[in-house]
């Protein structure tokens, strides 16, 4: 049996140091959403036989590179121990892309009638 795993990084051109630098702004939300769409397209195209995928970001202080990048996985991890690098630990560790989108989703504008 062949175990296949794909690991891609989706990296924006503009420099954003970490996920902590993203805000509830439409442009930040749009960027992360686009990165996730690109990542999904890559792993589904290159590993169609895989049925599990994972997408996320390292958070400080556990990021090794100070340039925002999305990790895109077609599972399983090979070798299996590699999953240890991608454990969520609350405000530290690995942050799932969907959770980040929830955190930075712009709030609806309140229109006051004065």
Q: Is residue 113 part of a domain?
A: no
SS3 31: helix
Is residue 93 situated within a structural domain? yes
pLDDT in tens, 73-90: 988 766 666 666 777 767
What does the alpha-carbon distance between residue 82 and residue 79 come to, in Å, rounded to a whole number?
A: 6
What's the CATH number where 28 sits?
Answer: 3.30.428.10
| Within-domain flag for 112 | no
Tell me, yes or no, whether 1 lies in a domain: no
Say which residues have a Cβ less than 8 Å from residue 62's Cβ, sequence separation at least 6: 89, 92, 93, 94
51 is catalytic: no
The residue segments making up the domain with residue 32 are 6-104
Structural domains counted in the chain: 1
C-alpha–C-alpha distance, residues 35 and 69, integer Å: 9
For residue 95, give Cα distances in angstroms to 4, 47, 78, 98.
23, 23, 20, 8
44-84, pLDDT tens digit by residue? 999 888 888 999 999 998 888 999 999 999 887 666 666 66
**pLDDT bracket for residue 3 (50, 70, 90):** low
Whole-number average pLDDT of the chain? 87
In a domain, 84, yes or no: yes
Residues 34, 67, 69, 71: which is the catalytic one? 71
Residue 80 belongs to some domain of the structure: yes
**70-74 vs 53-59, strand pairing mode:** antiparallel
Let me know if residue 20 belongs to a domain.
yes
């Amino acid at each position: 049996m062949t175990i296949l795993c794909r690991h891609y990084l989706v990296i924006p051109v503009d420099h954003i140091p970490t996920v902590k630098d993203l805000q509830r702004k439409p442009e930040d939300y749009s960027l992360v959403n686009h990165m996730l769409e690109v990542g999904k397209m890559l792993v589904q195209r290159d590993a169609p036989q895989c049925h599990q995928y994972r997408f996320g970001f390292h958070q400080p202080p556990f990021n090794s590179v100070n340039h925002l990048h999305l990790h895109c996985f077609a599972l399983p991890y090979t070798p299996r121990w590699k999953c240890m690098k991608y454990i969520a630990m609350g405000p530290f560790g690995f942050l799932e892309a969907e959770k980040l989108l929830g955190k930075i989703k712009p709030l609806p504008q309140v229109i006051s009638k004065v």
